[in-house]
Amino acid sequence: MTAEHPQQETRTFETEVQQLLHLMVHALYSHREIFLRELISNASDAIDKLRFEGLKNEELFEGQKEGRIRLVPDSEAGTLTIIDNGIGMDRDEVVENLGTIAHSGSRAFVDRLTGDEDQDVELIGQFGVGFYSAFMVADRVEVTTRRAGVDTSLGVRWESDGTGSYTVETIERAELGTAITLHLKDDAREFLEEAELRRVVKTYSDHIPYPVVLEGGEGEETLNEASALWARPRNEISEEEYRNFYAHVAHGDTDPLTWLHFHAEGTTEYTALLYLPSQPPLDLWQPEARHGVRLYVRRVFITDQARDLLPTYLRFLRGVVDAPDLPLNVSREMLQSDQQVARIRKGVVKRVLKRLADMAENEPDRYRKFWDNFGAVLKEGIPEDSANQDELAGLLRFHTSKRPDEWVSLADYKAAMRDEQKAIYYLTGDDLETLKNSPQLEVFKKKGVEVLLLTDPVDEWVVMHLSEYDGTPLTSVAHGDLDLGELESEEEKQVEEATEADYGSLVGTLKDRLGEAVSDVRLSHRLTDSPSCIVAGENALGEHMERLLKAANQPVPESQPILEVNPDHPLVQTMKEIHGTDPADKRLGEWGWLLLDQARLAQGAPLPDPAATARRLSEVMNDLAGSGPSRIIT
Ligand SMILES: Nc1ncnc2c1ncn2[C@@H]1O[C@H](COP(=O)(O)OP(=O)(O)OP(=O)(O)O)[C@@H](O)[C@H]1O
């Protein structure tokens, strides 16, 4: 006992834990039994950790090498105790783990809470929130624990009724590991019954690699299969067993979308059981997201932080890789540079991509579900993993101008291309609605050419790295001088040249008036209905990409857009007439600015000087109202 750690102290739960506990107490009856899955899962993880630490320091086992989880119901006391001989916790760990929400996953869970009890309770069922689920069935929970290897005088006792606070004290404890005693609520006494415990363990924890032993009236009984599921032959594993194992590795109740279970031999031997989730994990977009694939060496858990085992664009996978050839004492740091890990990664990536390709071809509905949830993550593979670019490109799906509600593959796009079309056209932006109505699409609509509409931020990086697909270049419709090649007839080209000459001096004047705000002004070949649009230079990043970089606090090179004006639009034609009469007419400059600003607005870009735009607009309206010098626009 130290001054820092008084013998017994009462502490309050972190606010988020209180929210969570409140929900637990009100959780739906049908979900309650998952508390046992969660506590057994924690016990199993604790034994995994001790086995790993014990590899380097045998003494930690304190003579009990076999992992074991015991269930002790006591009908008289109305308690159920779950006991493990795992790593245990010291006092600081107890406070950290059982008083706060330490994990990004659980924190993201709390962030998702809506305040609507029914919906929130659904979330618990889907995601599982660990230790605190004990309060679904217990009105008081006691934890006694001792970290393996520390003195028996440094055991810890924690207790709470799950309302606002808990007590923690240092105690003498002979056994290592953790015992969790649940004082069951009156309406949860079925969890004292052996038959019920047998059923729940069989349903949810059969695959746990350590025996779950019931200590009941008739002595001891092992309730589960207690073998590592992934190490068994595929044809001996039932679908239900696969699904239940998923609940263990993914900490949740939902079914997986599908799974792959395979054994690889050759230079590197390994077994992998990998699941594709049917729902995105809550922390999918958090940089510190928990890694979902656990690495084992000959069934000994090594780490769930082997970030080099899988590329980040497959971070949604859940499951296990068991690599018997890795040294058992491999340190987590060593994994980074290990050649075998690199080979396993390569093999796993190939298999997963192949599986996705098969799914896309043979089970399009399932693939669509996958893409809805994880497409934006998988796309990160294009910039990240050039070695697998072709396979990844085949898996991409996009909305398009002709099929905005569908997911279209690049192969489908190519199959629907017009004969004269020599490029895959795309447009990037913030959202589908803005893109669908973008002026840049006008000429493509007129000519019946489909354009990919890219709305995920990562798409900018995808098109930067994917310059072609199956021999056809990808071309932005908002960059450079649009060359429609054979999509344009000779006649159209001649008309364009004539117009070019006709409008040359107006364009020159506009360029002059807009000065530094634009890098160029030119006549547009992409517009049919709108008077103007902005485009980026051939090699410039583009307005959307610049905005994304700025939002991410990245340095952005200075670049000005090119303003394109539509010679077929009455407004531009009127401007040419005014210019013919008096090239110094003030209105030309003012309207030039408005053409530029409305082009920005049409693509969802911010206005650099909104007050100036507003002033120009009122002037134009004022003119229209008849109080000004002219009423040219009618
Ligand atoms: N039986 C146990 N032995 C040792 N440590 C435990 C035990 N049970 C829980 N813990 C510790 O408490 C932490 C919090 O447990 P909790 O079940 O709330 O979350 P988790 O298991 O880490 O995450 P999740 O349940 O979301 O997967 C665990 O990470 C672990 O460090």
pLDDT, tens digit, for every residue of 591-610?
999 999 999 998 888 898 99
Q: State whether the beta carbon of 178 lies less than 6 angstroms from ligand 1.
A: yes
Ligand 1 atom nearest to CA at 49: 4
Q: State whether the beta carbon of 423 lies less than 6 angstroms from ligand 1.
A: no
pLDDT at position 485 is 75
The average pLDDT across 570-577 equals 94
Residue 4 has pLDDT above 60, yes or no: no
Q: To the nearest whole number, what is the mean pLDDT of the chain? A: 88
pLDDT at position 125 is 57
DSSP assignment letter at 156:
E
Percentage, residues of the chain above pLDDT 90: 59
pLDDT at position 29 is 56
pLDDT at position 27 is 59
Task: Report the separation in Å between the CA atom of 95 and the middle of ligand 1, taken as the mean of its atom positions.
Answer: 12
pLDDT at position 71 is 98
The average pLDDT across 112-125 equals 68
Task: Report the separation in Å between the CA atom of 45 and the middle of ligand 1, taken as the mean of its atom positions.
Answer: 8
The average pLDDT across 601-625 equals 90
Return the residue whose CA atom lies nearest to atom 23 of ligand 1: 130
Q: Return d(Cα 565, Cα 545) in angstroms, integer.
A: 23
Task: Report the separation in Å between the CA atom of 132 and the middle of ligand 1, taken as the mean of its atom positions.
Answer: 9
Could you state, in order of their start, the residue ranges of all structural domains in the chain?
9-218, 229-369, 378-485, 490-631
Phi-psi region of 196 (alpha: psi -120 to 50; beta: other; left: phi over 0): alpha
Ligand 1 pocket: which of 131, 135, 141, 305 to mutate (most atoms within 8 A of CB): 131
DSSP string, 26-89: T--GGGTTHHHHHHHHHHHHHHHHHHHHHHH-GGGGTT--S--EEEEEETTTTEEEEEE-S---
Among 114-118, 134-138, 303-307, 562-566, which is the least confidently predicted range?
114-118
Which of 273, 272, 310, 271 lies closest to 290, judged by CA? 310
Domain at 490-631: CATH code: 1.20.120.790
Distance of CA 307 to the CA centre of its chain: 16
Task: Report the separation in Å between the CA atom of 299 and the middle of ligand 1, taken as the mean of its atom positions.
Answer: 21
Q: Residues forming the annotated binding site for ATP?
A: 38, 42, 84, 89, 97, 104-105, 126-131, 178, 332
pLDDT at position 631 is 46
pLDDT band at 126 (very low <50, low <70, confident <90, very high): low
Express each pLDDT in 251-272 by its tens digit: 766 789 999 999 999 889 999 9
CB neighbours of 68 closer than 8 A, spacing ≥ 6?
Answer: 47, 84, 85, 210, 211, 213
pLDDT at position 105 is 60
Could you tell me which residue, 376 or 7, shows the higher pLDDT?
A: 376
Task: Give the fold, CATH level 3, of 229-369.
Answer: Ribosomal Protein S5; domain 2 (3.30.230)
Q: Return d(Cα 78, Cα 137) in angstroms, integer.
A: 11
pLDDT at position 305 is 76
pLDDT at position 140 is 96
pLDDT at position 634 is 41
Among 282-296, 310-324, 408-422, 424-438, which is the least confidently predicted range?
282-296
Q: Return d(Cα 304, Cα 36) in angstroms, integer.
A: 22
Q: Return d(Cα 89, Cα 144) in angstroms, integer.
A: 9
pLDDT band at 104 (very low <50, low <70, confident <90, very high): low
CATH 3.30.565.10 fits 378-485, yes or no: no
Could you tell me which residue, 334 or 447, shows the higher pLDDT?
A: 447
Express each pLDDT in 17-39 by its tens digit: 888 888 777 755 566 888 998 89
pTM of the model: 0.77
Q: Do domains 229-369 and 490-631 have the same CATH topology?
A: no
pLDDT at position 546 is 84
Instruction: Evaluate whether 136 touches 48 at the Cβ level (below 8 Å).
Output: no
Express each pLDDT in 158-200 by its tens digit: 999 998 899 999 999 999 999 999 999 999 999 999 999 999 9
Whole-complex ipTM: 0.97
Q: State whether the beta carbon of 251 lies less than 6 angstroms from ligand 1.
A: yes
Name residue, tokens 């207790």: 159
Residues 9-218, CATH architecture = 2-Layer Sandwich (3.30)
Pairing status of strand 138-146 against strand 318-322: unpaired
pLDDT at position 248 is 78
Residue 142 has pLDDT above 90, yes or no: yes
Return the residue whose CA atom lies nearest to atom 30 of ligand 1: 97
pLDDT at position 1 is 47
SS3 track for 184-206? ECHHHHHHHCHHHHHHHHHHHHC
